[in-house]
Structure 1
Amino acid sequence: MWENVKYVRPKGFGQIVFIGINLFAPKTCCFGLWRIRRTFSKYSSSTHNTDHFVQKELRTEPPWKVLFFGTDEFAVESLKILYASRQESTNRIVESLEVVTLEKDLPVRRFASVNKLVVHDWPHVNSQGRFDVGVVVSFGCLLREGLIRQFPYGILNVHPSLLPRWRGPAPVFHTVLHGDAVTGVTIMQIRPKRFDVGPILSQEVCQVPEHCTAEQLGASLATMGASLLIDTLKNLPERIANRKEQSKEGATLAPKINTAMSWLVWEEQTCDHISCLFRAIDSRVPLRTLWMGHLIKLLDFVGKFSVPESEDKRAVPGSVLFQKESNTLLVRCKDGWVGFKTVMLRKRLSAADFYNGYLHTFFIKRPGLQHPHCLFQSKRTQTK
């Protein structure tokens, strides 16, 4: 029964301390665990390793000792407000603040460096007994359960959506892409192994501004999220006591933006769909199409356009027109025409330059072939 039990007599202790208790031993051997806890409790002020110590030292109100995890500009907004709170002489929410980030030149690392905050390179983090609560904002890495349990109040996450809608790394992009009229920010406690599934502590709702880009919406939500974070920390024990588990209904996923999303399908996408797609991803990935087998990037989207009925009747999805008055390249999609001021073909070209240098010349030299050869083609169409 005792083959897996080890015992030592530490210096300064008057009795044997059992460690490595055999999980399959009879219940009668549990006195060993009791003896450990009782013996260590006498020395908790110096060991900092027991449940007894954590419970005895647990704070019930601010200011808190905070460890911040983040990377990008969105995260910096929350880090700024935490740093400002630490500097306040009265009504402080934050007593101490340290930062965890990736080993790259990132906005969070730059802010921490300028303001002389202690920085830990992920994943080399040892927070045992040093912090009350962790805060994660736009970090992108799963935190192990052992690390989460080192914080008496767990680790909070500032998420730019109304969870459970848009769980994942790109909630703002998908909010714009899908034309959501309402969004918001959520403060939640994180759980190990999965992103964005923990209980909700606070939420704030806002309207999505008409025709806004993902960058514009993200900046607005970053400010809102930082403010809601501070408000949550002011009454943290109460918020945790009243936390709500996320509903299983209405959950949607927000995967990372990738190049495949940028290819336009003129036969299937409407003017509104292309507008949402441009405003959602153009800051990361420009919209793409094919012309005579060449990749063209479509830049400076200017929205829906009307064309003469005679032109519209003979057009098919992918048809291209140049509107001289507005210096705009028009392309036919599923339900109408959309305009672009600039394209990228080997180099950046205005709509007029592209028309004069490529389309106009082709029309003159090959009048009988102009229609099928001067279309913007969807990538999947050309593959077929």
Structure 2
Amino acid sequence: MWNIMKYVCAEGIVYRGLCGHRYADKRRSVRLWVGGPFTHQIHAVHNSVPFSQTHVVTSPPWRVLFFGTDSFAEESLKHLFASSCCRQKAGSAVVKLLEVVTLPKDLPVRRFALQNQLRVHDWPNVNVQDRFDVGVVVSFGCLLREDLICQFPYGILNIHPSLLPRWRGPAPVFHTVLHGDSVSGVTVMQIRPKRFDVGPILNQCIYPVPENATAEELGETLATMGAKLLIDTLQNLPECVANRREQPSNGVTSAPKISTSMSWIVWEEHTCDQIDRLFRAIGSRIPLRTLWMGEPIKLLDFVGKFHTSLSGAEAETPGTVRYDRESDSLLVSCKDGRVAFRAVMLKKRLSALDFYNGYLHPFFLKKLPRQQKKCVFGSYKTKESDTPLGREAAHKVQNV
């Protein structure tokens, strides 16, 4: 555990230490030690000589070093820039100095920084040199070294789009939608070395997840909420640090990166609601997929659950696909009903009508061998032994 120590001297000069370092002025001083989430101890210090001595600001505006990469991080950077001395009237600014650390690529954070004449450092070439009061890291994806963290008097803050400790990891927004959470939010925490998302909480804000929200929509909302919560935290930074609280040990869940392996629909197991949540979580980045006659096929333009009752629906084999002229959609049977798609991608993009004319029309079906005349999408499972089409189909899928 690392602490912030503040030394208030007779003339108002404040000294600080991190990671248990001890500092004191030659004159009589009073030391406030933040030793834990709610621990305060006052000690009198007499005539001890410091081995390091640095002036530390105790109120805004702050000198901030920002770490970030993507559009989610860019929103926080925009709010920091808008709250800086060059953009605010004297006395109302939260940020005095703002510099940026990002990866050496063409990224949203780099573009914004360069457009607004902010100094940019390419990771990992970072030299703090006691020039900053606090660091801010948002959607950066790289673990920061302990010696780097300890160079900031107030540590490094992180904006995480979930109510920690729920959904620790790189993809909290996607898992929030995928698992149907009704409540989400943002957390401002202090980072710790060697592990992501485990540090003490400084501030949190709750957000009810709108019905049918996509991950993209929720992410945009939480990015703005997180940026505003960051500014609120910086306005009261010493108080927030003093009252920080450790994350509870219960309620911890993991939010690993999304991958193409998540996009396969298992018609026998997935319900209409699960398919809907899967599409809203990853559909904008990774199309949902299934198998058609042993070939991978992407399912596009998801319509949702098909509510019209059709004769014999309960008896249909999961994966059975039909064309519905009224809705101009492909209807596919799953565990508890039917879902609809308006297009697919086989060798090229095909509308629902094009797919029907080319693959489901009776004229096409009568040309097929008897065993292939069923109009059924296949379910691909990761284990070859569970793959309905065996090793050959599994090999094709893994090489898509």
Give CA-to-partner distance per residue, 1:140-196, whole Å, 9 cap, x none: 100000000010000000000000000000000000000000000000000000000
1:53 counterpart residue number:
53
Preserved CA contact (<8 Å) 2:146 2:193: yes
Please say if 1:300 is aligned against 2:301.
Answer: yes
CA distance 1:51–1:177, shift in 2 (3 Å): farther
Change (3 A) 1:51 1:290: farther
Is the 2:294–2:389 contact (alpha carbons within 8 Å) kept by the matching residues of 1? no
How far the C-alpha of 1:283 sits from its partner, in A, is: 1.5
Partner in structure 1 of residue 67 of structure 2: 69
Per the alignment, residue 363 of structure 1 pairs with 365
Is the CA contact 2:190–2:199 (under 8 Å) kept in the aligned structure 1?
yes
- C-alpha displacement at 1:294, in angstroms? 1.1
1:80 corresponding residue in structure 2: 78
TM alignment of 1:307-326, pairs within 5 A:
308-326=309-327
Change (3 A) 1:182 1:288: same
Cα distance in 2 between the residues matched to 1:122 and 1:303 = 43
| Greater CA drift, 301-310 or 191-200 | 301-310
How many pairs were matched up?
A: 335
Q: How does 1:237-256 map to 2 (within 5 A)?
A: 237-256=238-257
Structure 1 position 52, deviation (Å): 3.4
The corresponding residue for 1:264 is 265
* Cα deviation code 1:83-102 (max 9, x no counterpart): 01112123100001000000
| C-alpha distance in structure 2 between counterparts of 1:346 and 1:257, whole Å | 25
**3-state SS, counterpart of residue 365 of structure 1:** coil
Can you give the 5+ residue segments of structure 1 that lack an aligned partner in the other structure? 1-33, 39-49
2:322 match: secondary structure: strand
**Matched residue of 2:301: which SS?**
strand
* 1:169 aligned residue: 170
TM alignment of 1:99-110, pairs within 5 A: 99-110=100-111
What residue number does 1:190 align with?
191
Aligned amino acid, residue 171 of structure 1: P
Residue 150 of structure 1 aligns with which residue? 151
2:272–2:305 Cα contact (<8 Å) kept: yes
Q: How does 1:112-123 map to 2 (within 5 A)?
A: 112-123=113-124
**Paired residues of 1:362 and 1:370 also in contact (CA < 8 A):** no
Distance 2:205 2:51 in 1: 35
Give 1:357 deviation, angstroms.
1.3
The letter of the residue matching 1:58 is V
- The equivalent of 2:388 in structure 1 is 382
Deviation at 1:368, TM superposition (A): 4.6
* Shift in CA distance, 383/150, structure 1 to aligned 2, threshold 3 Å: farther
The answer to whether the aligner puts 1:215 opposite 2:216 as a matched pair is yes
Give 1:309 shift.
Answer: 4.3
Aligned residues of 2:366 and 2:373 also touching (Cα < 8 A): no
Deviation at 1:364, TM superposition (A): 3.6
Written as runs of structure 1 = structure 2, the 5 A alignment for 1:134-145 is 134-145=135-146
User: How far did residue 363 of structure 1 move?
Assistant: 2.4
Counterpart in the other structure of 1:225:
226
Q: Is the 8 A contact 2:159 2:230 kept in 1?
A: yes
Q: Distance in 1 between matches of 2:250 and 2:185?
A: 18
Contact persistence 1:187–1:228 (CA under 8 A): yes
Runs of 4+ in 1 over 3 A off after TM superposition: 306-309, 366-372
**Helix, strand or coil for the counterpart of 2:101?**
strand
Deviation at 1:370, TM superposition (A): 5.5
SS at match of 1:53: coil
Corresponding residue for residue 4 of structure 1: none
Q: Equivalents in 2 of 1:366, 1:282: separation in Å?
A: 32
Larger radius of gyration: 1
Amino acid at match of 1:382: P
Q: Which amino acid aligns with 1:52?
A: S
Structure 2 gaps of 5+ residues are 1-21, 27-49, 382-386, 391-400
Q: TM-score, normalised by structure 1?
A: 0.84
Are 2:89 and 1:89 aligned?
Answer: yes
- After superposition, give the CA deviation of every residue in 1:288-340 in whole Å (9 maximum; x if it has no partner): 00000111100111111145543314411110010011100011111110000
AA aligned opposite 1:69: F
Amino acid at match of 2:81: Y
Q: Tell me the TM-score normalized by structure 2.
A: 0.81
Write the distance in 2 (CA, Å) between the matches of 1:51 and 1:75. 37
1:110-148 per-position Cα deviation (integer Å, ceiling 9, x unaligned):
000100100000000011201000000000100000000
Counterpart in 2 of 1:205?
206
Flag the structure with higher helix content: 1
Matched residues, percent identical? 67
Alignment-mate amino acid for residue 260 of structure 1 = S
Q: In structure 1, what is the Cα distance between the partners aligned to 2:105 and 2:284?
A: 21
